[in-house]
């Protein structure tokens, strides 16, 4: 990297607005709802930068992060790494706060850390990371996070490191849910004696614990546990929904397409 400032990721508000609208419509069509665990909403220090590190169950994850960035971190700028080959192939990512990373080389790791350090120099920035470096099942608790995250924590004591767990379970609808929960923020400045390796272990345990908390609440399926960020499509097949609609009309009731609504029982 010849000039850190020249290689800094950038954000075009116009491109971001258009892509966010497209992303939101896509999530609306493909999922029943987007929910965040009420006990897992982060409380952060606005004077310090933020690193959010999450599990990586599917290719939907960046769109989830984009929606969370708009809903919960609208006053900050969000950035994140993406595989170098994909970054070169899809040029519009250059205007959305992404930056290319070659995680398979020493120079690529060095460049990644350099960009992260530059971004975390401002309290207005949020850095979103998937340190598993691969897609992994949500039930996997042997996370084996890449070492770059621990190195970042050891070198960026002023940042707040926040775990984020994501699941895409099926509940009662034909479309899956999006369930997320943040864990408690970790502050490296409170534990300056930890090494990079120790921080890797500490952050892995924190993310695994957040995933476990999310999994337990997901299994309970209690609406009272969740804050609905957005509501997508409900209902089943066209024939089934048409029958439920007709029954509701004959009874003089409102039609609710959710599975289990009283007019469909």
Region for 69 from its dihedrals, namely left if φ exceeds 0, alpha if ψ lies in -120 to 50, beta otherwise: alpha
The residues facing 50 across adjacent strands are 126, 160
Please tell me the least confidently modeled range out of 177-181, 204-208, 227-231, 261-265.
261-265
- What pLDDT does residue 127 have? 98
pTM: 0.86
Q: What pLDDT, in 10s, does the model give residues 68-105?
A: 999 999 999 999 999 888 888 888 888 999 999 887 77
- What pLDDT does residue 206 have? 97
Backbone angles phi, psi at 33, to 5 degrees: -155, 160
Q: Can you tell me the distance from the alpha carbon of 109 to that of 103, in angstroms, rounded to the nearest whole number?
A: 6
Query: Does residue 261 surpass a pLDDT of 70?
Result: no
Residues in the chain: 265
Q: Are 149 and 200 in contact (CB under 8 A)?
A: yes
**231: CB partners within 8 A, 6+ apart:** 32, 33, 34
Q: What pLDDT, in 10s, does the model give residues 159-174?
A: 999 999 999 999 999 8
- What pLDDT does residue 7 have? 67
Task: Supply the mean pLDDT for the chain.
Answer: 88
Q: What pLDDT, in 10s, does the model give residues 232-241?
A: 877 655 555 6
């Amino acid at each position: 990297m010849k000039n850190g400032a020249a290689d800094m990721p950038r954000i075009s508000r116009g491109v971001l607005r258009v892509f966010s609208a497209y992303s939101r419509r896509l999530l609306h069509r493909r999922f029943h709802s987007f929910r965040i665990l009420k006990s897992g909403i982060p409380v952060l220090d606005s004077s310090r930068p933020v690193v959010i590190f999450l599990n990586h169950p599917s290719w939907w994850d960046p769109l989830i992060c984009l929606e969370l960035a708009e809903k919960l971190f609208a006053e900050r700028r969000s950035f994140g790494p993406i595989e170098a080959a994909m970054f070169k192939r899809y040029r519009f990512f250059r205007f959305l706060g992404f930056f290319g990373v070659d995680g398979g080389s020493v120079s690529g790791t060095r460049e990644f850390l350099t960009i992260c350090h530059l971004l975390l120099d401002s309290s207005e920035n949020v850095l979103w990371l998937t340190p598993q470096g691969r897609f992994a099942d949500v039930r996997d608790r042997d996370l084996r996070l890449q070492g770059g995250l621990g190195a970042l924590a050891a070198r960026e004591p002023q940042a707040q490191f926040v775990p984020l767990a994501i699941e895409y379970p099926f509940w009662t609808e034909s479309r899956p849910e999006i369930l997320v929960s943040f864990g408690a923020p970790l502050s490296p400045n409170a534990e300056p004696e930890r090494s990079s390796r120790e921080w890797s272990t500490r952050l892995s345990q924190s993310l695994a614990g957040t995933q476990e908390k999310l999994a337990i609440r997901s299994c309970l399926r209690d609406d009272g546990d969740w804050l609905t960020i957005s509501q997508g499509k409900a209902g089943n097949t066209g024939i089934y929904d048409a029958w439920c609609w007709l029954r509701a009309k004959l009874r003089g009731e409102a039609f609710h397409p959710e599975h289990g609504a009283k007019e469909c029982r």
